[in-house]
Amino acid sequence: MSTRFQRTADKSLNQKHAKILKTCLDRPENKYCADCKKKDPRWASWNLGIFVCITCSGTHRSMGTHISRVKSVDLDTWTPEQVENMVLWGNTKANLYWEANLENKRPPE
């Protein structure tokens, strides 16, 4: 069982992380799903550093956690390392890296 202090600290840390993630989502490159380009992604693959829509989050979940680790931007709690990875990457930088060998092809739906 956690103490009141721990719950308060966790709550303030979660609020801090939510604010950072919102700032990330406000960047132009993150306003659209990294995969299908739908507007207003609310999910993220935190190990890949991308924001995705709910449909693409399902695809990422089906890949397995050894490839993509998916969390809700709004509903889940985040660790500092996970938030830091989202700040470090973002959709544009991640797509340049992860889709480098696609040669102007879009991934299939």
| Structural domains of the chain, count | 1
Intra-chain end-to-end CA distance of the chain, in Å: 45
Does residue 39 lie within any of the structural domains?
A: yes
Q: How far is CA 108 from the centre of its chain?
A: 20
Predicted TM-score (pTM) of this structure? 0.86
**pLDDT the model gives residue 45:** 98
Range of the domain at 48: 4-99
Give me the residue label for tokens 């890296």: 97
**pLDDT the model gives residue 6:** 64
Does residue 87 lie within any of the structural domains?
A: yes
**pLDDT the model gives residue 96:** 93
**Among candidate residues 23, 14, 27, 13, the one with its CA nearest the CA of residue 75:** 14
For the chain, 109 residues long, give each residue's pLDDT as a single digit of tens: 566 666 566 888 999 999 999 999 999 999 999 999 999 999 999 999 999 999 999 999 999 999 999 999 999 999 999 999 999 999 999 999 998 888 776 666 5
Q: Can you tell me whether residue 46 is helix, strand or coil?
A: coil
Contact of 42 with 74, CB cutoff 8 Å? yes
Does residue 43 lie within any of the structural domains?
A: yes
